Amino acid sequence: MGAVPADARFTTPFGGLYWQIETEGQQLRSRSLWDFALDLPPDHLKDGAVHVHYLPGPGSDLLLVMERSVQLPSRLGGIPMRAAVGMDAANLEESTEQFRDDLLPYTLVLALFFVGAGVAQVFLGLRPLASVGRRIERIRPVTPAVWEKTSRRKSARLQARWMPFWPNARATLNKPGIGRGIWRMV
């Protein structure tokens, strides 16, 4: 292999990070595997497909292993190759727990912010409706006597406006069903 991986755990025996490459009859392993070989299941992967496995590792640790199959180019023999990279599952679980612990305070602050913003939006957004409610309460109910007085005034205005064009407007507007329908239109 031309280049050494940057993480020293690949070169430290039982370091927690492992790699293994298999071709037809050959196997290359990281130094961290020492004399142990990953027992990859006999998968038939498509070119470039990735499989994830939990496999026993050195020191009977459980490893999370990602495996990929690649067809080498013709200048390298054109043969299939399986590459696997693994890490201790315990390290992954520990890292996940630490990430959750780090993320929890920020998540709580964000949740409080959204709850506060929702409450503020409800109170500030509905404030104008309170004045509408007060205006509606101030409207006094219309009694039949008030309605008749208003109807006569509107009828007089309509008659004055339409008399030149409509000679029998007075008779039509004073009819009970027609007059009220016209008031709603005016």
pLDDT by 10-residue block (mean), the chain, 186 residues: 71 82 84 84 78 84 88 83 87 90 96 96 86 73 63 70 63 58 46
Per-residue pLDDT, 186: 45
**In a domain? residue 176:** yes
Whether residue 150 lies inside any domain: the answer is: yes
Same domain, 14 and 86: yes
Instruction: Answer with the one of 50, 74, 90 that is the final residue of a domain.
Output: 90
User: In terms of C-beta density within 10 A (0-12 exposed, 13-18 middle, 19 or more buried), how is residue 172 classed?
Assistant: middle
Are 79 and 12 part of one and the same domain? yes
Rounded to whole angstroms, how far apart are CA atoms 7 and 107?
A: 32
In a domain? residue 32: yes
> What pLDDT score does 111 carry?
97
Q: What is the pLDDT of residue 148?
A: 66
Considering the domain architecture, whether residues 12 and 81 belong to the same structural domain is answered as: yes
Total domains present in the chain = 2
- Tell whether 13 and 83 lie within a shared domain: yes
Give the dihedral of Cα atoms 30, 51, 99, 12; nearest 10 deg.
-10
pLDDT, residue 185, reads 46
The answer to whether residue 152 is domain-embedded is yes
Is residue 50 included in any domain, yes or no? yes
Residue 38 belongs to a domain: yes
State the DSSP H helix or E strand holding residue 160, giving kind and residue range, or none if neither. helix 144-162
Quote the pTM value. Answer: 0.51
Domain that holds residue 149: 144-185
Distance CA 45, CA 172 (A): 91
- 85 and 13 within one domain: yes
Do residues 15 and 77 both lie within one domain? yes
Q: What is the pLDDT of residue 177?
A: 56
In a domain, 20, yes or no: yes
Domain assignment of residue 86, yes or no? yes
